[in-house]
Amino acid sequence: MLMRSAVAQYMTVTASYWAFTLTDGALRMLVLLFFHGLGYTPLEIASLFLLYEFFGILTNLYGGWLASRIGTIYCMQLGLGLQILSLGMLLVDQSQLTVIYVMAAQALSGVAKDLNKMSAKSSIKGLMPDSEQGRLYRWVAMLTGSKNALKGLGFFLGGALLASLGFRGSLLVMMLLLLPTMLIGSLILHNQPDTRKQKFSETLSKSPAVNWLSLARLFLFCSRDVWFVVALPVFLHSQLQWSHIEVGTLMASWVIAYGAVQAMAPKITGQQYQRLPNPQRLQNWAMLLTLIPAAIALGLYIGFDPSYALIAGLLLFGAVFAINSSMHSYLILAYAQRDAVSLDVGFYYMANAGGRLLGTLMSGLLYQQFGLISCLLASSIMIALSALSCSGLARST
């Protein structure tokens, strides 16, 4: 009976997370392509997402404290409500869509995204006893993998909606998806506050393992976004003359495949043989990932067809990155304290958001000044730093 209840809660949390992620991916592609079409430079486009990532950092840092006080489910529902408000802000007349205004709307969306993400993942820890680490790894991998598949579909949806319904019509469709999701979740989900109410001063993690893992996560996600978020789609559209739908389709297909690999990560990494992720395995996978962006950069430099080099490189990078990310997602829940899980997870995803912020800024700046190859080389450097952080993680556990 208890397990059936836990499964029902897990499925409802996952469905809510899916709906949010679909709109989040669509909104990112919508904003990127719409404002690139208005003539914004890569650095200006990157700036539109800076407050999104910055407020994600703050949300993860203090959202964990908030969740410990009011419960993870209430925080997740709050995230859905704020996303609806953010979408509504962008419905104003096009003349009012200044850089500052769009940055403010994106800041609200950043708060919403990380409240929803942190709360959904934290709630899973409470559904699973400490003796069920294998099941925890599978559930986290499934949630994370399915989320990224939906985010990829969101990229495609954003490009398709922009082409068919325009900017404002696309926003209305996304709002209509989130409203019933929030209502259904309010009726079904049971709130799960932490067993010990945390003080505001306790928001920073005191666990060396969580701190080292968070540092590794920061560099890992910086390595992805430094070339994937701004540089790649702008390069495809401006240099290779791809259409909005073609760019959205490639980005969507990549993230969907990436999510599928994440969901299969327990099988790939040998969980069926009781080989749960540990710092050494995490470092080995990070070292493998370091080679891939450098290889793509080399291919572009010596004159390989950029379309083939990027597509093949993207697929390989996505598969190895997905395994790294899935192992990270398991380890943070394994290391998190049960009576303060939202705080440890919040701190960890603060580092995640910090990596995205740094990567987004570097993506626009490096691409505008030096081109796509520089972004790829920076990606390899960031992954190497992530692998180095895993050495500290191994010493702390």
Structure confidence at residue 134 as a pLDDT band (50, 70, 90): low
- Confirm if 293 and 380 have CB atoms less than 8 A apart: yes
Task: For residue 257, give the amino acid letter.
Answer: A
Q: What is the pLDDT of residue 30?
A: 85
- Domains of the chain (ranges; CATH) run 2-186+205-396 (1.20.1250.20)
Give the residue, 73 or 297, on which the prediction is more confident: 297
Average model confidence (pLDDT) across the chain: 79
Buried b (16+ CB within 10 A) or exposed e, 363-380: bbbbbbeeebbbbbbbbb
pLDDT, residue 273, reads 44
CA–CA distance, 119 with 140 (Å, rounded to integer): 13
Give the count of beta carbons closer than 10 Å to the beta carbon of residue 246.
Answer: 14
Q: Between the ranges 73-82, 95-104, 181-190, 377-386, where is the mean pLDDT highest?
A: 377-386
Amino acid of residue 317: F
- Please give the Cα distance from 170 to 157 (Å, whole number): 9
Cβ atoms 339, 67 nearer than 8 A: no
SS3 content of the chain, % helix, strand, coil (to 5): 85, 0, 15
Question: What's the confidence (pLDDT) of residue 270?
Answer: 60
| Mean pLDDT, residues 195-204 taken together | 52
CA angle 285–286–287, rounded 5-degree value: 90
**30-57: pLDDT as tens digits:** 888 888 778 877 777 777 777 887 887 7
Model confidence at 271: pLDDT above 60: no
Determine the pLDDT at residue 40.
79
- Whole-model pTM? 0.69
pLDDT tens column, 329-388? 778 877 776 555 666 777 787 888 889 889 988 988 899 889 999 999 999 999 999 999
Side chain identity at residue 138, one-letter code: R
Q: Which residue has the higher pLDDT, 54 or 276?
A: 54
Mean pLDDT, residues 20-37 taken together: 84
Cα–Cα dist 217/349, whole Å: 8
Dig out the tokens for 323 from the structure.
């395994």
In the block, tokens 């995490």 appear at 282
Question: 220 Cβ partners below 8 Å, 6+ apart?
Answer: 286, 321, 324, 325, 328, 355, 382, 383, 386
Per the listing, tokens 């928001």 go with 203
Q: Does pLDDT of 3 surpass 50?
A: no
Confidence of residue 2 (pLDDT cuts 50, 70, 90): very low
Percentage of the chain lying above the pLDDT 70 cut: 79
Distance in angstroms between the alpha carbons of the first and the last residue of the chain: 35
Q: Per-residue pLDDT for 231 more than 80?
A: yes
Give the pLDDT confidence score for residue 49 in this predicted structure.
79
Question: What residues contact residue 104 under an 8 Å CB cut-off, 6+ apart?
Answer: 51, 89
Question: Greater confidence, 260 or 201?
Answer: 260
Banded model confidence at residue 5, pLDDT cuts 50, 70, 90: low
Distance, CA of 232 to CA of 239 (rounded, Å): 10
Q: Which amino acid is at 222?
A: C
The 3-state DSSP class for residue 91 equals coil
Is the pLDDT score of 79 beyond 80?
yes
Enter the DSSP assignment of 240: S
